[in-house]
């Protein structure tokens, strides 16, 4: 497989402008002849669908939620980065670019990341014009906060609900286009297959989640913006509905899956409370602006936190990373937490937790100021744990949060299947091996508002291929395949509910492919996953039928994909014999326990190519060519 990045030549700063000037355009009157299928309506999908419809394209959009406003982008709390330099603290496009590429442990494509930093400033303008109520100063200008992995304040926020407000902005733009008749919206509709005709992505197969009807849709291009695959770990901060199905089924139709092993473990989540747990709750990274992370210096110190004197506390992030302190990037903070817990210094039930302490800031600024900044997060914590964080330190522990890997795309965000575009968390492109806080919202909106509207036209202009008929054999075949899989799942009538297998898979993934991975643990996972998968196909009980609203059936399809995808993730982790960002191989670490990259052997993207059921996929490589930054060892000391 040839992986052509299609990065334009020339100086980094001019690549995007040059590209925009050189790509072909579609005449406004002709745009409405093109039918674009957009799957997923989170930040990336909604912004893309709205922007493309505004340009005049015929857009059909799909989401499995009951409304486009519910996509998981809504749960992002902390903020969105942009190189506005409103704070006059030395920020610039270059600095945002550099922080992001360094934060990603030098495993992202330079040109993509630079473009991301460039358009970040437009995103803020766009959102403000849509009525997003970003936080402001008393003078009426926009306020910023700082976030992990940066030494400037460039994060724009709307209380602890930034993702929600940005999504509602994109949703309102999308709603406007739906109202105008430019977008046909299919909510409660799940994509179950991709249709490829003559090598081009030309349609999808969907299931109406209310009636169970299987539908064929054809278009001139397919845009996937279906989010990440964090739920392969069962427990994650993702919404319970988030899944890998759309991207995985595209992979099975030939799209390359890049770097699946790059998963982000977020350091500040509420620890697991028991077997019944269905998901984990994130406490925004913004809390690390004011909270101090610590554990007792002594092992097994069971005293309540207020009885542990100051000099017996280990503020380990401040100690190990004095210049970034509590704001060290996520992968580093997570691993540090795991390390102290492994040493037996963890707090709370089972010793899987560290303190995030606000007593100092409460003393300094008063409870009211803290309440104003983080009130809703504190209330959420209180409700979940029954502990008052104003009085006792929060207990936090890392949890799976985001996945940097995704379908491989070129500079135009097009996958190796022409006509298949992949945006947002669903693609692999911008965050390398680790994403910095407040950058996911930025990427989702950059892709949807400011990249795809340009690049998709270029594809149309260069590929004048007629849309296939709805009855084309490839379309009918894809539908038949989908029906078969559904029928197969319904016919098993085993004895366990779908969750049981998902939880088992999650346990294997977390234990053997979580915060620290080894050759042995990954091999163990690779042995166990097929075994769980085999049992799933024998013992699962999917109740009800296919022609009705059937949650069990929806979940079964998603878990079936996770059961295959988990193996791919572990395989990628096994083959990447280095540590970088969120991928930490215990065999590859420095003396003080930091990730040790191997730039000679692994400075590349691994893009996996499907070879058929139960066959090992092929690992293709796109070398990462760093022309503008020096490959440094990441240091936050």
Partner 1 sequence: MRVTLKIWRQKNAAATGGFATYTKDNVVAEMSFLEMLDALNRELVEKGEEPVAFESDCREGICGTCSLVVSGIPHGPGKGAATCQLYMRRFKDGDTITVEPFRARGFPILRDLIVDRSAFDRIIQAGGFISVNTGGTPDANALPIAKEQQELAMDAAACIGCGACVAACKNASAMLFVAAKVSHLSLLPQGQPERQQRVLNMVAQMDKEGFGACTNTFECEAACPKEISVRFIARLNREYMRASWGDK
Q: Which of residues 191-230 bind partner 1 (CB under 8 A)?
A: 210
Per CB under 8 A, contacts with partner 1 among 396-415 are none
Per CB under 8 A, contacts with partner 1 among 448-467 are 449-450, 453
Instruction: State which residue, 89 or 125, has the beta carbon closest to partner 1.
Output: 125
- Which of 5, 35, 51, 189 is the binder for partner 1 (CB under 8 A)? 51
**Residue of 189, 207, 184, 186 whose CA lies nearest to 478:** 207
Does residue number 164 form part of the binding site for partner 1 (CB under 8 A)? yes
**Residue of 20, 137, 13, 7 whose CA lies nearest to 455:** 20
Does residue number 21 form part of the binding site for partner 1 (CB under 8 A)? no
- Which of 541, 596, 604, 619 is the binder for partner 1 (CB under 8 A)? 541
Which residues have CB under 8 Å from 389's CB, separation 6+? 358, 378, 381, 382
Q: In the structure encoding, which two tokens stand for residue 399, read together?
A: 């949890």
Nearest distance in Å: CB 140, partner 1:
3
Does residue number 386 form part of the binding site for partner 1 (CB under 8 A)? yes
Answer whether 151's CB lies under 8 Å from 477's CB.
Answer: no
Q: What torsion, rounded to 10 degrees, do the Cα atoms 530, 536, 538, 544 define?
A: -160
Q: DSSP state, 211?
A: T
3-state secondary structure of 156: strand
Instruction: State which residue, 67 or 635, has the beta carbon closest to partner 1.
Output: 67
Instruction: State which residue, 50 or 569, has the beta carbon closest to partner 1.
Output: 50
Active site residue 330: yes
Kindly indicate which of the ranges 331-339, 477-485, 543-551, 568-576 contains the residues binding partner 1, using the contact rule CB under 8 A. 543-551
Per CB under 8 A, contacts with partner 1 among 64-103 are 65-72, 74-75, 84, 86
Answer whether 373's CB lies under 8 Å from 359's CB.
Answer: no
Alpha-helical segments (H) within 314-355: 316-320, 330-342
Q: Point out which residues pair with 589 in neighbouring strands.
A: 595
**Active-site residue among 330, 395, 435, 558?**
330
Instruction: State which residue, 90 or 139, has the beta carbon closest to partner 1.
Output: 139
Does residue number 28 form part of the binding site for partner 1 (CB under 8 A)? no
**Residue of 126, 155, 129 whose CA lies nearest to 143:** 155
Q: In the structure encoding, which two tokens stand for residue 212, read together?
A: 């169970």
Q: Point out which residues pair with 200 in neighbouring strands.
A: 197
3-state secondary structure of 544: coil
Per CB under 8 A, contacts with partner 1 among 568-607 are none
Per CB under 8 A, contacts with partner 1 among 282-301 are 282
Helix, strand, coil shares of the chain, percent, nearest 5, are: 40, 15, 40
What angle do helix axes 110-130 and 15-22 make, rounded to 10 degrees? 80
Kindly indicate which of the ranges 49-57, 252-260, 583-591, 619-627 contains the residues binding partner 1, using the contact rule CB under 8 A. 49-57
Nearest distance in Å: CB 240, partner 1:
6
Does residue number 348 form part of the binding site for partner 1 (CB under 8 A)? no
Per CB under 8 A, contacts with partner 1 among 107-126 are 122, 124-126
- Which of 49, 61, 204, 239 is the binder for partner 1 (CB under 8 A)? 239
Does residue number 500 form part of the binding site for partner 1 (CB under 8 A)? yes
Does residue number 516 form part of the binding site for partner 1 (CB under 8 A)? no
Nearest distance in Å: CB 131, partner 1:
5
Active-site residue numbers?
Answer: 330
């Amino acid at each position: 497989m040839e992986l052509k990045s299609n990065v334009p030549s020339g100086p980094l700063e001019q690549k995007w402008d040059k590209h925009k000037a050189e790509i072909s355009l579609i005449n406004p009157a002709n745009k409405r002849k093109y039918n674009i299928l957009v799957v997923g309506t989170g930040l990336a999908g909604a912004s893309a669908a709205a922007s493309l419809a505004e340009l005049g394209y015929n857009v059909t959009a799909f989401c499995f939620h009951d409304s486009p406003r519910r996509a998981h982008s809504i749960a992002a709390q902390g903020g969105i980065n942009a190189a506005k330099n409103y704070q006059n603290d030395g920020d610039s496009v270059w600095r945002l670019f550099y922080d992001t590429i360094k934060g990603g442990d030098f495993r992202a494509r330079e040109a993509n990341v630079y473009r991301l930093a460039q358009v970040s400033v437009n995103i803020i303008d766009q959102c403000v014009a849509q009525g997003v109520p970003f936080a402001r100063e008393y003078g009426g200008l926009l306020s910023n906060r700082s976030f992990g992995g940066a030494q400037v304040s460039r994060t724009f926020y709307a209380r602890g609900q930034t993702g929600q407000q940005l999504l509602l902005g994109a949703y309102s733009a999308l709603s406007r286009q739906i109202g105008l008749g430019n977008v046909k919206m299919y909510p409660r509709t799940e994509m179950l297959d991709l249709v490829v005709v003559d090598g081009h992505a030309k349609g999808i197969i969907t299931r109406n989640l209310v009636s169970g009807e299987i539908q064929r849709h054809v278009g001139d291009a397919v845009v996937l913006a279906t989010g990440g695959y964090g739920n392969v770990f069962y427990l994650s901060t993702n919404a319970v509905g988030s899944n890998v199905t759309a991207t995985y089924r595209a992979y099975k139709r030939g799209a390359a899956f890049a770097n699946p092993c790059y998963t982000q473990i977020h350091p500040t989540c509420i620890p697991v409370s028991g077997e019944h747990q269905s998901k984990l709750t994130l406490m925004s990274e913004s809390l690390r602006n004011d909270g101090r992370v610590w554990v007792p210096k002594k092992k097994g110190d069971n005293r309540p936190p207020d009885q542990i004197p100051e000099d017996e506390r280990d503020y380990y992030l401040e100690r190990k990373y004095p210049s970034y302190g509590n704001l060290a990037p996520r992968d580093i903070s997570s691993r540090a937490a795991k390390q102290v817990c492994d040493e037996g210094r963890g707090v709370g039930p089972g010793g899987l937790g560290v303190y995030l302490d606000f007593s100092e800031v409460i003393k300094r600024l008063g409870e009211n100021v803290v309440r104003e900044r983080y009130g809703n997060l504190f209330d959420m914590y209180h409700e979940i744990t029954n502990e008052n964080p104003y009085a006792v330190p929060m207990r936090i522990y890392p949890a799976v949060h985001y996945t940097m890997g995704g379908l491989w795309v070129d500079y135009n965000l097009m996958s190796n299947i022409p006509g298949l575009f992949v945006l947002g968390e669903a693609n692999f492109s911008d965050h390398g091996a680790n994403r910095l806080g407040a950058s996911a919202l930025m990427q989702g909106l950059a892709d949807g508002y400011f990249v795809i509207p340009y690049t998709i036209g270029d594809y149309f202009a260069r590929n004048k291929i007629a849309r296939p008929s709805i009855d084309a054999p490839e379309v009918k075949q894809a539908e038949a395949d989908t029906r078969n899989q559904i029928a197969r799942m319904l016919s098993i009538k085993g004895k366990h509910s779908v969750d049981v297998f998902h939880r088992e898979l999650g346990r294997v993934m977390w234990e053997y492919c979580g915060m620290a991975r080894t050759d042995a643990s990954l091999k163990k996972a690779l042995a166990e996953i097929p075994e769980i998968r085999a049992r799933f196909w024998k013992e699962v009980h999917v109740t009800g039928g296919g022609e009705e609203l059937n949650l069990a059936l929806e979940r079964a399809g998603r878990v079936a994909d996770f059961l295959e995808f988990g193996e791919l993730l572990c395989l990628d982790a096994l083959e990447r014999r280095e540590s970088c960002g969120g991928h930490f191989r215990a065999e590859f670490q420095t003396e003080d326990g930091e990730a040790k990259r191997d730039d000679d052997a692994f400075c590349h993207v691994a893009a996996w190519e499907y070879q058929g059921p139960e066959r090992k996929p092929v690992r293709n490589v796109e070398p990462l060519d760093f022309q503008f930054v020096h490959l440094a060892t990441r240091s936050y000391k």
